[in-house]
A and B are shown apart, each in its own frame.
Chain A
Amino acid sequence: MRNQRALILIIAVTAVLFLSNILNFTVSTNRFNESYPAVVCPPNTSGLSTAISLTSPNTLARKTGSTSMKSTEVGFRRYAVAAQSAVIESGKVTPLVWQVRKGVWAGAIACSAPASSQWFVGASADITAKGSLHIVNSGLGRALVEVTVFTENGELAPRSVSIRANSYTSLSLASLAPGSKKIAISLLPRAGRINGFLIDERGKGLTSLGGDLINPTKEATTKLQIPAIPQQVGRGGTTPHTLRLLVPGDVDARISAEIRSTDGTFAPVGITDRVIAHKKVIELPMDITMAAGKFALHITSDQPILGSVFSPTNAQGKRDFVWSTAAQDLTEFTMATTGLAPILVFTGRDVRVTLELTFTNGKSRKIKVAEEDIATFKVPDSVRSIAFTGISKGTSGAALIASKSGYGYVPLNPGSELTKSSVPASNIRVLNP
């Protein structure tokens, strides 16, 4: 009798546990929507020409400044924008923009999705300044953005800028911080889909001193990697570089720096152990005696810091300058390079990256890059896109592009990241504290 009871109990417990665990009663999991937000490219203003490298002519795009929200196929792999800003649904591909004031300067930037915060470290607002800050609102509602300029004297009062739906506005740098030689700009969107683009264009009278597009940084970090600083050697020796730094927090930062190049790794003179005053734009000269090439600068700080390096360049006989900005750790993404042949520079302790080059004829080739400290790769002309995969930890990269009009620099950051958003589910619980 007792055995029978035991048997019944064992069977019952086992059956219940078995049934309740293996039966597939579906508990609804939350639904998520994954998408790559459309990327926004810098507007084309008067006198400039803008070409956007895409991977496919079927890429959908629309322009700001119109009431039509319909995206159409661009029809080319290199999309020339005559006016306004292009909003491109390029999926996981990051289009590259090559902007040129013909014969005067050139600059490169990646089209990017609207950001919640952007920092620009570079440009000048002094008497030579001819540059401007373009703020694009790619949304259909009015946008509000807070612009804060930092100068060598400190932080200026923030300025709120309202931008109509699907349009852009340009702010002259000279009007933002009149007379300031060294500036850094923070863009903080309060409402709307906002992208900022900063053009540093300088001239002395009618003489042009060059120009560049300054790539933005999302946020200040304690570890700064500027992967590609062009080192050119002219008749007068090596071109001097200038490191511009900003500590946006409320505490001064103590920094240390390291240069990594094909010649080796060394600490630049006068930078390591420097204390950088907070909220002031500080410039430190970097005279690097080194053979021509590219080098990377790694800065570590005890406080979040922003920085970029200003380098005068001479590309194909044209004097220009380039702002090498910080790059985040390289992640897997694809960059469209149609019409451009950038030199890719990777830096890190142990650089390992697999490049998948897709050529205009549709063929592709994989190249494995493996070096210590720094590695460069010249992308062939016929490549329309480069996919970065198999990336080792701590590696970052940038692309340098040279043309007759000037020199351009783009950090290898994805312009559009896969966004995972929860699909809202109806639940009255939201109305309960």
Chain B
Amino acid sequence: MSTQRVSAILVVHDGSTWLPEVVTSLATQTRGPDRIIAVDTGSVDTSAKLLKGARIPTISLDREIGFGEAISFAVGQLPPTSDSQNEWIWVLHDDCAFAKDALENLLSTVSERPNVAMAGPKLLGWHDRTHLLEVGISLATNGARWTGLEQAEYDQGQRDGVHEVLAVSTAGALIRRDVYEELGGFDKNLELFRDDVDFGWRARVAGHSVIVVTDAVGYHAQAAASERRTVDVKGALLHRPLLLDRRNAAYVLLANASMWALPVLSLQLLAGALFRSVGYLFAKLPGYASDELLAILTLIIHPTELLAARRARKKSRFISGAAVKAFIPSRFQQIRSSVARAFDSLRESIIPDREVTVVNSALEINEDEDLLTPSSQRSWLALFTRPIIAMASALVVITLLWSRNRLGSISGGALAMAPESAQDLFKLYIASWHDIGMGSGLSTPVWVPIIGVASFLTFGNVAAFISLFFLLAPLALLFAAHRYLKSFTSNSWLAAGAALLYALSPVAISAVNSGRLGLLLFLILLPFTLPLFKNWAEIHTWTVRRLSAIALLAGLLAAFNPSVILVLLGIIAYSTTRDFIAANKNFKDALFLQRATRYVTLLLAPFLLLAPASFEVFIRPHLLISEIGFTVAGGGPNLAILGNPGGPGSLPWWSISPITVVLLVTYFSSTAARKFATPGVIFLLSGALVSALVISGNGSSSTTRASAGVFLAVATLFAIAAAVIMFDKIKSRLEQSHVNYRHISIAFVLLLTVGYTATSTFWLATAGSDSPVRTTQTQILPAFLAIEKGAKTVVIRPYRQKGEQTLSYYISRGREVTLGEPDIAPRDTAIISRAIEGLVDNTGVTSSNILSTYGIKYVFLKNPVSQDVVQTIDGLGGFTRTSATEAGIVWKVLKDTGRVKFTNYSGREYVLESKGVRTFVPAPGSLMLTETYSDSWQVFQNGYRLAKVEDSNGLPTFGVTEAGEISIIHDGRARRAWISFFIIALVTLTVLALPGGRRKAEISDKEIS
């Protein structure tokens, strides 16, 4: 060891904050360096003065000199040596102090390993000296600096030892002088950052070894990387450290990697940069985002620099580049690390680490306690004594009984069948034309792709997602409500019981049983939404971020429940009126304007987010009280006033929930419960009014009573919250007074609640499971109709309603209707409706011809068939029976028909078969598409667009002037424009709503290390 000579080179750049400790640590080393040279790169603080005070010889260089160059300059000043193998350069940063024995341990380790050319200490945080920063470093293939450590890993010696690594940080790196000179020192193109990895990489391929010696410890402030000082090096464009770091990372990878890996690496670097820049944009850090892209750009515009670097490295490469491969983290390691970090963050946000109890006094310590004995003897069964667990267990049992007919792929009620995969939902959303009925150009609502994205949870299996959602919804309701209600009471049994009541409320039961997907989601999100409106009166103080977040949430809820916009409109109208009066009817009042702006934003944002479908409410205002999916009737106002939306699958009238009574009782309460009761009553009464209205739409020509699910859901939660407040500490309050109306009303509410719980549970376990939503395997159409892809079939189906058989029909395209399609289903065509009526009432002598005109090939009467109808169709003519099976009876329309019909000039009609969008026209004439007319239908022949008219039947007809191939397309540009608009609106709102990221300069020292 005695033969080893160490020259310490301390590079200083505005490091006065850390320099005193660094110098002290150098001075107190058990084996100090033989020579110390400081290189001051133009410090403007007191660094130079401090160095002078410490009597360290200092070389002053230009402020723009890079780190490598500074070291190189200092090495040049060192006297020449004959035993360069024992001559070491100890590279020091001005922000890195060392333990006393750091150098001694480094030297003793390298002395036993003659092949080591570079050795580094274990680096810990400057402020938190248990925070492990580095035990050697590497470079991930995406350019990220790879330490292989967990986030903020606590140093317990778990990484201790001497390890072979790709490189060590230059902070405290001990480099053999001959190797340093042999490799030409640090790359001059890497003024700062990544020069260490690059050097280690070059040393490795030159056949040397690089190790980390954890017995040697350094404390690194990482001042440049954490933006504690400005980066002034020449290559640091705009003095941006991130830019320099990214650029250098890419440079190191591209300069050192093998030629074959370059294309993939380049793509990875580019993709990584794009991905990260998007992330930074979402975190509202556009500077960092631009750094990512500029870093790649600055590298691309100087390819000669890279080529020169590769040539230089080739000269000193003595072993295969594969030697380095072991130190480059695999993709799996990178993914595992990212996932682990994501889970840690998630866990931290959901279950924050328990605060350590601070023992303030020795008296609090139980010295008799055996630390090896577990502190608790409770068995796991004791878990069930926790109220929420007990309620959840009870609910699981009830739900299993209730859902016994809903295990598997479900549909029914308002819920259409799930498509095969999420991809189908995205296709439906993107498509400008939908093969539903006679064809529809309506815009698919936004909730469809949202379900598509959500179904990624079940690997794109939408049916599984929907089934799970309906199965787990009661539990989700329980936990969501519990989270909200527990803030009103310290009695956990009360909160859990109330949450159970919410999960089994009439509106929740109705939502599950009748397949109201939107309402169910609303019920789950409502307990999270209500607290956001807590200080509604102070809306003028809301930040843009909060406003955007609420607008985004409102948009999400409105996408699934259009009535949310109506609710919002009502609240805002009331608030604006109140504000106007408060502002002495002065609409120019600053506060009034401030608040009004926010109201408008809150209302407009969801509206724009849901465009263009949301604009339809101006033409058809009743859409504001409609629901997604199939239209399902509500139960009318008299049920609604009891908090029960009614309709198929709803609780029977005799299972009366305590919601109304609770609201009425708490309305007169003198406690805080009244604050909830008043809006609760308003929502309940609004719900009753809405229930009296009628709606139509979603592919149905008949009108049905509206369901006021959203209004009743809000009323329900308000009622339950009011009840929790009322019952909180009720015992002690009642004990303090004589029997009065309070005792009676509370007894009544309790009695009603018990009665409701018993009756509703009984109903759910028995008749309630026989709900409209159930597992479905059956197909509507006979299999042979599905084979003829796209063939239109009129499906007539009998239903029993109030003891009478009624008939409904729709035009199928050889398949069942799936999720999202009812919302864009076209209305009936009058002439087709009359033709179908004629099939039933025996007047349809021309029905066959009309159906043929519209390209309808089959009529399918689904079982149980009415013999009268069968005889009528049999007797009408123009139809021939093709099958009569258990599924029903199929007639074929005798006249040949199809999607594309062509009539030549002599009046002869042909049905053209098309392959995709192309077909062949045999002669000049007119071509008719048996789809509803839309301006976007276009036919191209030889690059020219054919003239189009809407014929008397409302079908698009095109004039063909010559025989030949044609292309039939539906122009989707408008649809794509709306989708782009949606994405822009969504991203804007999301970016505004997300918490802003912090620049490193804004992060506290404590958090960094």
Contacts and interface: CB of A to CB of B under 8 A. Distances in A.
Q: Do A and B come from one complex?
A: yes
Contact of B871 (A28, A114, A429): A114
Contacts of A21: 637-638, 692
Contact of A28 (B641, B688, B702): B702
Given A13-B685, A16-B688, A20-B689, A430 B871 contact: no
B699 interface: yes
Name, among A12, A16, A144, the residue most crowded by chain B CB atoms within 10 Å (CB to CB). A16
B884 A421 contact: no
A2 interface: yes
A424 B810 CA distance: 9
A433 B417 contact: yes
B778 A433 contact: yes
A58 interface: no
Interface string B674-715: 000000010001001101111010111111110000000000
A25 to B, nearest CB: 5
A207 to B, nearest CB: 42
B470 interface: no
Interface in A1-41: 2, 5-6, 9, 12-13, 16-17, 19-21, 23, 25-28, 30, 32-33, 35, 37
B697 to A, nearest CB: 10
Contacts of B874: 139, 141, 143, 191-193
B810 A426 contact: yes
A411 B102 CA distance: 120
B780 A427 contact: no
Pairs of residues from A and B, 7 with the lowest C-beta to C-beta distance, nearest first: A140-B877, A428-B699, A139-B875, A426-B828, A20-B692, A20-B637, A193-B875
Given A20-B689, A424-B840, A432 B833 contact: no
B840 A20 contact: no
Nearest to A140: B877
A27 B705 contact: yes
B884 A142 contact: no
Interface in A215-273: none
Contacts of B756: none
Contact of A423 (B416, B780, B812, B837): B837
B807 A431 contact: no
Contacts of B700: 425-429
A138 B700 CA distance: 35
Nearest to B417: A432
26 contacts: A12-B681, A12-B685, A33-B840, A139-B871, A139-B875, A140-B876, A141-B877, A142-B880, A144-B881, A193-B871, A421-B807, A422-B798, A424-B796, A426-B699, A426-B700, A427-B808, A427-B810, A428-B437, A428-B699, A428-B817, A429-B699, A430-B808, A432-B630, A432-B817, A433-B776, A433-B777
B436 A428 contact: yes
A422 B805 CA distance: 7
Contacts of B702: 28, 30, 425, 427
Given A6-B668, A422-B840, A431 B812 contact: yes
Contacts of A143: 874
Contacts of A428: 436-437, 630, 698-700, 810, 817, 821-822, 825
Nearest to B876: A140
A424 B938 CA distance: 34
B933 interface: no
Contacts of A165: 877
B247 interface: no
A116 interface: yes
A175 interface: no
A316 interface: no
Interface of chain A, helix or strand or loop or mixed? mixed
B807 A422 contact: yes
B816 to A, nearest CB: 5
B877 A424 contact: no
A141 B879 contact: yes
Given A25-B694, A30-B804, A426-B700, 11 more contacts: A9-B681, A20-B689, A30-B801, A30-B806, A143-B874, A191-B881, A421-B807, A421-B866, A426-B809, A428-B821, A428-B822
Given A140-B876, A427-B702, A37 B842 contact: yes
Contacts of A419: 868
B809 A429 contact: no
Contacts of A30: 702, 801, 804, 806
Contact of A429 (B630, B668, B877): B630
Interface string B860-890: 0010001111111111111111001000000
Nearest to A37: B842
Interface residues of A, number: 51
B842 A141 contact: no
A201 B874 CA distance: 32
- Name the residue in A27, A143, A191, A426 with the highest tally of chain B Cβ atoms < 10 Å from its Cβ: A426
B779 interface: yes
B681 A421 contact: no
Contacts of B809: 424-427, 430
Contacts of B545: none
A425 to B, nearest CB: 5
Nearest to A69: B845
Contacts of B637: 16-17, 20-21
Nearest to B801: A30
A181 interface: no
Contacts of A424: 796, 807-809, 833, 836-837, 839-840
Contacts of A190: 884
B732 to A, nearest CB: 24
B795 interface: yes
B276 interface: no
Contacts of A192: 871, 874-875
A405 to B, nearest CB: 34
Nearest to A431: B817
Interface in A395-433: 419, 421-433
Contacts of A140: 875-878
B868 A421 contact: yes
Nearest to B515: A432
B703 A26 contact: yes
Q: Pick the most buried of A2, A13, A28, A432: most chain B CB atoms within 10 A of its CB.
A: A432
B868 A139 contact: no
Nearest to B630: A429
B827 interface: yes
Given A12-B685, A37-B842, A430-B809, A425 B879 contact: no
Nearest to A38: B842
B828 to A, nearest CB: 3
Most chain A CB atoms below 10 A, which of B778, B806, B870: B806
A400 to B, nearest CB: 31
B664 A25 contact: no
A12 B688 CA distance: 11
A5 B867 CA distance: 61
A369 to B, nearest CB: 32
A422 B806 contact: yes
A26 to B, nearest CB: 7
B808 A429 contact: yes
B755 interface: no
A432 B681 contact: no
Interface in A85-116: 114, 116
A161 to B, nearest CB: 15
A425 B692 contact: no
B64 to A, nearest CB: 72
A210 to B, nearest CB: 34
Given A141-B881, A425-B702, A433-B411, A20 B810 contact: no
B204 interface: no
